[in-house]
Copies of this chain bind each other. A is one copy, B any other.
Amino acid sequence: MKIGELAKKTDCSVQTIRYYEKEQLLCTTQRSDGNFRLYDEAAVEQLLFIKLCRNLDLSLSEIRQLLTLKRSPGAQCDQVNRMMDTHIQQVETRIQELVQLREHLKSLRRSCSSERTIEQCGILQTLTTNQHQKR
């Protein structure tokens, strides 16, 4: 199948597929006489695997590592598990940061009502006067 069909089957843009090839995540083994990329079912599966990993927010470099590991079936799981643990930890950290940010934003938002002018704006005042608290 040609790249357009692979794109449709995997719900992935044609440019993205070519980008993954450039990034060594998906190699095109065959080309047609007219130099068109040709793919088989294994390519569909590999691309779907990549998509699932991207949905888990794994980076392309992490996915590349996973694909390499998949090709050495005798190896131990440690590396996969460590990657997952690190990844989960990063997501956890980001959630905590965002929760704090949300509370900060909400309290800032409470310092202003719509009827005011910019001059009296609690939000801008807070953001500005904080700067003068040098002690």
A118 partner, pick from B44, B72, B123, B127, beta carbons under 8 A = B72
Question: In the assembly, what is the distance between CA of A98 and CA of B99, in Å?
Answer: 11
A78 within 8 A of B: yes
**Complex interface residues of chain A between 100 and 135 (CB less than 8 A to chain B):** 101-102, 104-106, 108-109, 112-121, 123-124, 127-128, 130-131
Question: In the assembly, what is the distance between CA of A105 and CA of B84, in Å?
Answer: 7
Q: Residues on A close to B: CB < 8 A?
A: 44-45, 48-49, 52-53, 56-57, 66, 69-70, 72-78, 80-81, 84-85, 87-88, 91-92, 94-95, 98-99, 101-102, 104-106, 108-109, 112-121, 123-124, 127-128, 130-131
